[in-house]
Chain A
Amino acid sequence: MLQLSHVTKLFFPGSPDEKIALVDINLNLKPGDFVTVIGSNGAGKSTLMNIISGVITPDSGTVSIEGRAIQNQPEHARSRWIGRVFQDPMAGTAPHMTIEENLAMAHARGRSRGLSFGVTGAKRKLFREQLSRLGIGLENRLRAKVGQLSGGERQALSLLMATFTKPQILLLDEHTAALDPARAELITKLTDSIVREMNLTTLMVTHNMEQAIRLGNRLIMMDKGRIILDISEERKKDLTVESLLKEFEQISGHKMADDRVVFG
């Protein structure tokens, strides 16, 4: 489904600040795979997400979705296939537009945008139906401006919008990290149910070790621009936070250094 081969990315090449972000990354996601990604500071997790979504282009290597090489396509062209939820709850929605207008924009993903009305009666019915699945009452606030919603509500809406048109790939970039524990838990549960229900091929970066173990069918760990550990579904079942940390130290030769990491 999603394939990265020999992807390498340097920042500020040739300057004293040169930073190796990704080195020879090879990653292959099968349809329906739900992969969680953990790693220490500067491991390259965000760079990986940005390279897949097209925010930055790799220096070498290829990225392909269903066999199509996409590494040279601009972000807006790729987003036909890729849904994305950002860490910042403000990033995934347009605050000065209404809930229904935001959903209409998500609904138009993958189609060319023309002069037909964005919100119609039929679409409004669909929006209401889909919003009620979130279970937080947004279906009764279709015409409220998104800027009036709380961070948790906005993130739930972002999640719904990102998955609205069943994208080939779903990228979740620490999308619960900026929320308080109760809201983070709600979004985590919603994520799990939406991904399962739609059988979405998903890549999720998280700082929460327990969440990384609990969710998905595969776990990868990154360090210094490389994937140092790839844990399959069978092994993942018996994994604990302690054993994961121990394994990290053995392979990388240093302790997991992450000032934001959550262990349980």
Chain B
Amino acid sequence: MLNSIPGAVELGLLYALMALGVFITFRILDFPDLTVDGSFTTGGAVAAIMLTGGHSITISLLAAFGAGLAAGLCTGLLHTKGRVNGLLSGILMMIALHSINLRIMDGAPNISVYGSDQLFSGVSPYWVKLLAIFGIILLIKLLLDAFLHTELGLALRATGDNARMIRSFGANTDLTKILGISLSNGLVALSGALIVQQSSFADISMGVGMIVIGLASVIIGEAILGARTVFIATLAVIVGSVLYRIIVALALRIEWLDASDLKLITALIVIIALVLPAIQRTWKQKLLAKKRSAELTGQTGSKPIGGGF
């Protein structure tokens, strides 16, 4: 059972960039961006075409990142300048990207990149390779942290926190939204490209349900590490992504579960993670209110009120 863990950790790290992208839109910008399902595949498709064309892995990854930025830019423009509802602008781009992705893949629903350039292909043993991948993901996380502490990054965060306030201090919230959505989809596409080079395979449907997986990672991470600072919040996303893959790997070992049940399990994880804290909060508040009102009225016992006749 444990021998599936290292593989799950590797996948978790590669998918972590996608989860960081979802974190930027969902948590920082408070913008539910569904472009992710499309742009993940876009990144994978671009990388597959570049790799089979004989380009190096670095160039291919950069191209995938660029394609993601462009996809996010379109969603951002639709939402801010076109004034299209946030959810709808993401869905529209997701659908549009499906056709674009097929075009990128030259009409083929899947492409094998077996034998082309791979990240750390010559590195062994496996745990060193894993460490190297972790190093890269960590570097990207730290760069993102630094960006979120720049003047532009602060404006981006404030756009999701209190748009009216940051506008009154001269930031163009349309631009910060577009920037955030672009950056998010750039990371998502980069993640898609990483998955393609790792699995040596690109598929037109590889992005389906990605948004929920990203959300699950963000939520799991938050539940464990919290989000007190930017540093902790982004670290939590990576931890969440890895844990998600481990949970999935373990769940697939259960005999009566099929691989096709994966999406249902993912949805259940997100639902539980969303509903449970809400219920907890309500209960806590009720208890607190009861305690405080008992203190205020000076009643310590549970004497029933009324019925004294």
Contact = CB atoms under 8 A, between A and B. Distances in A.
Interface residues of A, number: 35
A113 B143 CA distance: 18
A86 B150 CA distance: 26
Interface string A91-104: 11111110001001
A175 to B, nearest CB: 13
Interface stretch (B88-96, B169-177, B186-194, B202-210): B169-177
Contacts of A109: 169-170
A77 B170 contact: yes
A94 B162 contact: yes
A91 B150 contact: no
Interface stretch (A62-70, A115-123, A125-133, A238-246): A115-123
Contacts of A91: 162, 164-165
Contacts of B173: 76
B149 A119 contact: yes
Nearest to B228: A145
B161 interface: yes
Given A93-B162, A95-B162, A75 B151 contact: no
Contacts of A105: 151, 154-155, 158, 166, 169, 171
Contacts of A117: 146, 149-151
Given A53-B168, A79-B167, A79-B170, A97 B157 contact: yes
Interface residues on B, range: 20 to 34
B86 interface: no
B167 A76 contact: yes
Contacts of A53: 168
Given A93-B162, A96-B161, A97-B158, A84 B168 contact: yes
Contact of B169 (A79, A96, A114, A119): A79
Contacts of B151: 104-105, 108, 113-118
Contacts of B168: 53, 75, 79, 82-84, 92, 162
A105 B149 CA distance: 11
A264 B144 CA distance: 53
A116 B151 CA distance: 6
Contacts of A76: 167, 170-173
Interface of B: 146-147, 149-155, 157-158, 161-162, 164-173
Interface of A: 53, 74-77, 79-80, 82-84, 86, 90-97, 101, 104-106, 108-110, 113-119, 161-162
10 contacts: A79-B170, A84-B168, A91-B165, A94-B161, A94-B166, A105-B171, A106-B169, A114-B150, A119-B149, A161-B169
